[in-house]
Structure 1
Amino acid sequence: MRNFGRVAEVIAGGKTFSMKEFNLEASVPFDSDTLPNESEIKLWNLSEDSLNLFRKKKDNDPPIPLRLNAGYEGDVGLLFSGYISSVQTVWDGVDKVTTIHVLDSLRKDTQQEISFAKGTYGSAIIRQLAQQANLPVAMLKLVRDYRYEDGYSASDTLVSMISQVAEDCQTRAYISKGKLYVRSLREGASNLIQLDKTNGMIGLPEYFEENGLKGYRLKQQLQYRVTIGTVMELSSFIFQGKLYVQGGTHRISRSGDFMTECEAVL
């Protein structure tokens, strides 16, 4: 990849704010748990009319959707979509800087009590809980479909219960772009990315061991395709082979960082 022809654009309220016209910075985290991710976007010197596109007219109006596309000229894709949670504008010298926080989910989880009959399988519980949570299921592929011989009862938020049942099924549950994925990071991924020093890798892979997992922390020129479960085919003198992305952050600026950092496990 090249680090020229950077493209980033924020779309909200029917208008596109391009990096070519506006100074723009963004930090977009992604991880493999069920908690909503919050991205931060900064735009400089917006007019009042433009600012109003990011603000609700009334407190009880629905949240305003926002999309962020990024990449390089000729290869641009969706990096993030969500709903604006807060907007703040401050003066920095002669510049007016607007910071927009965006959540990737509108879920408002409340404590609930649920129970399932004896012999119920984990897959059935997850599907019903996801339906109650109004959470679309993008993938449900369990390592083990655990059968609750004595039934299942819990008092917690719906999403927390989904995580607990998935854990009983030896499978990871996470939410990405507003959809539920229940699968092993090593199963079901269709996007494979070659990474070496000739196509975007920055610096050297950094080995880590945490919570029983082993892998490498990687940096590369911004790659919108990298997300949870992406398969990285890494080639370096430190390690050669496949790794599976479990989290990271996309960083965007006009003249500074334009990169994707991630943790990928063996």
Structure 2
Amino acid sequence: MSTPLFGRVVEITTGAVKMNNTSLDIEFEVPFDDDLAPNLSTISVYNLSKNTISQLNKGQKFSLVAGYLADKGLILEGEIASHSTKRVGTDKLTTIKVLDSVPFKANKTLQKAYKKAIKADALIKDLAKALGLKIAVLKLPLNKVYKKGYSINGEIIKEIQKIAKDCGVSCYINKGQTYIRPLRDGDNHNFILNSNTGLIGSPEYFEKEINKAQAKGYKVKSLLQYRMNTASIIKIDAVEVKASVRVQKGKHTFKGDTFYTEVEAIL
């Protein structure tokens, strides 16, 4: 697959406001990973008008598309957590913080006892409903049965993570959707990462523990690539590495000449 990596494109939509890097200087750092803790992205825009700034509101939906003239895609969807504006020399800098999450009370608690022999998927669905989480994918190869029942007296989010761990799967929020599925399951975009499609340098091998299991994979850096996000399945085609991997975490960065995506991906 050959992708024309020229003509950088950045497009922001929030409420009635639309911004792009043709008319404005924009910078961003967008982290992503596969846990339920919302990631906080930072978007910096220079010299916005007072009218535009007045239309940036906490809790407002926010989306960021990035890529190239011939190939761009969504890298962030969430809601505005905060924004601030200050003078930097002769410029006016507005910094927007965005949570890649759906509106829900992360610290919400629940006290409830469930019946004997309840299954993990039923527990997760009920807890997600109580928390206000919309589940896009729920896949439990091991659907654990809690023979003695299950009791919760604490934060719902932690209980969902605990149950997912009992079943050997990961759970995370990405672009406003909740996914609970095996760590190695992902979204296959049939994307091959090589020197023609943006690969920078050589992939770096690593080993680490994830959910009490030993995982192996590669750290990879490329020119910004929206297809590389949480749970993306990509094929690495480097001189010394030929492998199919699943992205676990990483970040997209745009600042000055930096227009990169860096990820850790497991085999």
Both proteins in one fold, TM over 0.5: yes
User: Could you tell me how far 1:188 is from its partner in structure 2?
Assistant: 5.0
What is the aligned partner in structure 2 of residue 107 from structure 1? Answer: 104
Say which of 174, 184, 201 aligns to 2:182.
Answer: 184
Distance 1:121 1:263 in 2: 32
Q: What secondary structure, in the 3-state scheme, does the structure 1 residue paired with 2:188 have? A: coil
Gaps of 5+ in 2: none
User: Could you tell me how far 1:183 is from its partner in structure 2?
Assistant: 0.6
Q: What secondary structure, in the 3-state scheme, does the structure 2 residue paired with 1:33 have? A: coil
User: Could you tell me how far 1:157 is from its partner in structure 2?
Assistant: 1.6
What is the aligned partner in structure 1 of residue 17 from structure 2? Answer: 15
User: Could you tell me how far 1:179 is from its partner in structure 2?
Assistant: 1.7
User: Could you tell me how far 1:170 is from its partner in structure 2?
Assistant: 1.1
Distance 2:19 2:124 in 1: 39
Q: Contact 2:29–2:251 (CA<8 Å) still a contact in 1? A: yes
Mapping for residues 125-164 of structure 1, pairs under 5 Å: 125-164=123-162
Q: Contact 1:193–1:230 (CA<8 Å) still a contact in 2? A: no
User: Could you tell me how far 1:237 is from its partner in structure 2?
Assistant: 2.8
Structure 1 residues 256, 114: CA separation in 2 closer, same or farther (over 3 Å shift)?
farther
Distance 1:65 1:182 in 2: 23
Structure 1 residues 190, 4: CA separation in 2 closer, same or farther (over 3 Å shift)?
closer
What is the aligned partner in structure 2 of residue 72 from structure 1? Answer: 68
Distance 1:21 1:176 in 2: 29
141-150 or 234-243, which deviates more: 234-243
What is the aligned partner in structure 2 of residue 60 from structure 1? Answer: none
Mapping for residues 53-64 of structure 1, pairs under 5 Å: 53-55=55-57, 63-64=59-60
What is the aligned partner in structure 1 of residue 230 from structure 2? Answer: 228
What is the aligned partner in structure 2 of residue 119 from structure 1? Answer: 117
User: Could you tell me how far 1:127 is from its partner in structure 2?
Assistant: 0.9
Distance 1:30 1:52 in 2: 28
Question: What is the letter of the counterpart of residue 172 of structure 2?
Answer: Y
Question: What is the letter of the counterpart of residue 65 of structure 2?
Answer: N
Distance 2:93 2:23 in 1: 15
76-85 or 19-28, which deviates more: 76-85
> Is structure 2 residue 193 aligned with structure 1 residue 195?
yes
Q: Contact 1:185–1:228 (CA<8 Å) still a contact in 2? A: no
In the superposition, the TM-score normalised over structure 1's length comes to 0.93
Q: Contact 2:13–2:64 (CA<8 Å) still a contact in 1? A: yes
Q: What secondary structure, in the 3-state scheme, does the structure 1 residue paired with 2:199 have? A: coil
Q: Contact 2:186–2:232 (CA<8 Å) still a contact in 1? A: no
Q: Contact 1:135–1:178 (CA<8 Å) still a contact in 2? A: no
What is the aligned partner in structure 2 of residue 59 from structure 1? Answer: none
Runs of at least 4 residues off by over 3 Å: none
In the superposition, the TM-score normalised over structure 2's length comes to 0.92
Q: Contact 2:32–2:251 (CA<8 Å) still a contact in 1? A: yes
Gaps of 5+ in 1: 57-62
Distance 2:177 2:159 in 1: 16
Q: What secondary structure, in the 3-state scheme, does the structure 1 residue paired with 2:123 have? A: helix
User: Could you tell me how far 1:192 is from its partner in structure 2?
Assistant: 3.0
